[in-house]
Amino acid sequence: MSMNYVFGFSLFLLLLVALNIYFFYTLIPMGKKSVDFKNVPSIKLDQSPSVFKDIYDYLNYLPSQYKSRNSKFFTLQKTLLTSFSPSDNIQDDWPDLSQVGTGSSLYPHKNSVAGQMLHAMKTAPIVLVDNAPKGTQLKLLLLLEGKQKLYFKPKRYERDHIIHGSIVAGFDRHNSEVFAYYLAMTLNFTWIPPSVIRKIHVDREIVPVATIGLKRTMIRNGNGGRCIYGKCFYCKINETVCPDNKGEIEGAAILYLDKPFQFQVFKSPWHRNYRDSKLMEWQRDNDFCKKVMGTLSTKRILDLVDISIFDFLIQNGDRHRYEMYKDRILLLDNGKGLGNPAVDELDILAPLYQCCIIRLTTWKYLELLSGSSLTETIKLMSAFQGAKLVTEDHFKAVERRLLKVYATVQYCIGRHGSAKVFKA
């Protein structure tokens, strides 16, 4: 073997070692573990925006504080539970709602008022039932004794049913409306109408007080039960809602926002394309927020960032428009959440990772909810009404997504620094 060959081979080995050392210190940050691939989402990262890869890198190296309980939340949790626990002498009477939309929340909820209100929504006698023709899917309008009105979105799927396909596939999920209410209240996003699971007996509670219009949209099934197909944009006579073997229909009872609530409706800059597979501009351009900042105020963008976090946690990708009341965005129409607990569509967070701003108050509140405190609180609050909202897989999914929200904010801090990310 010639000396030139030995020298060349030795030089090759030296270069190989040097390259290994370089990539080790360049790709693996000092003092951190290697990437935990079990945290990688169920998407093909090589086909997704590069920002997704950066966010998942931050996810793998999240500080431990975001996976542990924050003791500072215990006091807030106790206050929330007091708000939702029925009082000892609970009655069917409605609480005083004269201050609706005038304070720091859409409806009063403190000092057991929320618990009293949900109890009344669940149990108050129904004096009139009609179709609620607005919207794309079947809803009923209930008039209760006491003149309160409820929207009623009937159950279409069992709790463990998984919706496959696009983020907007399938019927609305009634339990998503109710889960969204508890989630919003836990996040301190209090501009949302109350919602509760209610069961209604068709023959005893609907038929005797149904309008002629509603009765015209009812047919009998093979078992003799009265089924409803309703009146809406997508309502079809072959897509009915039928009573169970007890003669009941389960659904989400949502407090109806009656006059004087006059909303302003706006199209979301981050709305999706429902007609074909063509991507919207925000899905193609990660600098899309620069254009939005030229048309919307910082306050409005911060509102949309808050909503994107809320929608991401339940995977509601159907926020194509939003409603404003007294310069606040209302969290209405939350039925497209909870489709598939195994999927996290990260692009719902586009307002956050493209604008890279968030209210400091929102961020501090999110930090308090680490270590399963978020879903634990929802379980405790909803237990007062005795209804199981979702499967355990959905609770785990919400906690997993909360970690991704933390990682997205960390990604923004890494790019721009805390001073530019957090807004008063």
- The answer to whether residues 362 and 391 belong to one domain is yes
d(CA 60, CA 66): 12
- The answer to whether residues 250 and 280 belong to one domain is no
- What confidence tier does 28 reach under pLDDT thresholds 50, 70, 90? very low
- The answer to whether residues 324 and 356 belong to one domain is yes
- The answer to whether residues 200 and 304 belong to one domain is no
Question: Domain count of the chain?
Answer: 2
- The answer to whether residues 250 and 309 belong to one domain is no
Containing 69, the helix (H) or strand (E) segment is none
**In which residue are the tokens 């007080």 written?**
209
- What confidence tier does 31 reach under pLDDT thresholds 50, 70, 90? very low
Is 182 inside any structural domain? Answer: yes
Is 41 inside any structural domain? Answer: no
Q: Which of 255, 279, 309 is the last residue of a domain?
A: 255
Q: Which of 255, 289, 310 is the last residue of a domain?
A: 255
Q: Which of 135, 254, 140, 257 is nearest to 197 (CA)?
A: 254
- The answer to whether residues 214 and 143 belong to one domain is yes
> Is 386:88 a contact under the CB 8 Å cutoff?
no
Catalytic residue selected from 172, 318, 333, 344: 318
Query: Is 344 one of the catalytic residues?
Result: no
d(CA 231, CA 138): 6
Q: Which of 255, 287, 315 is the last residue of a domain?
A: 255
Is 34 inside any structural domain? Answer: no
pLDDT of res. 151: 97
Is 25 inside any structural domain? Answer: no
- The answer to whether residues 160 and 287 belong to one domain is no
**Least confident span in 31-40, 95-104, 223-232, 253-262:** 31-40
Is 201 inside any structural domain? Answer: yes
Determine the 3-state secondary structure of 14 from DSSP.
Answer: helix
Is 186 inside any structural domain? Answer: yes
Determine the 3-state secondary structure of 195 from DSSP.
Answer: strand
Phi (first) and psi of residue 422, to 5 degrees? -90, 130
Percentage of the chain beyond pLDDT 70 is 86
The verdict on whether omega for the bond into residue 260 sits within 30 degrees of 0, i.e. cis, is yes
- What confidence tier does 146 reach under pLDDT thresholds 50, 70, 90? confident
- The answer to whether residues 115 and 154 belong to one domain is yes
d(CA 376, CA 201): 32
For 350-370, the pLDDT digits (tens) are 999 999 999 999 999 999 999
- The answer to whether residues 289 and 235 belong to one domain is no
Q: Which domain range does residue 149 map to?
A: 90-255
Tell whether pTM > 0.85.
Answer: yes
* Mean pLDDT, residues 258-284 taken together: 87
For 311-363, the pLDDT digits (tens) are 999 999 999 999 998 889 999 999 999 999 999 999 999 999 999 999 999 99
- The answer to whether residues 240 and 367 belong to one domain is no
pLDDT of res. 255: 95
- The answer to whether residues 188 and 171 belong to one domain is yes
- The answer to whether residues 248 and 273 belong to one domain is no
Percentage of the chain beyond pLDDT 90 is 73
- What confidence tier does 88 reach under pLDDT thresholds 50, 70, 90? low
Is 126 inside any structural domain? Answer: yes
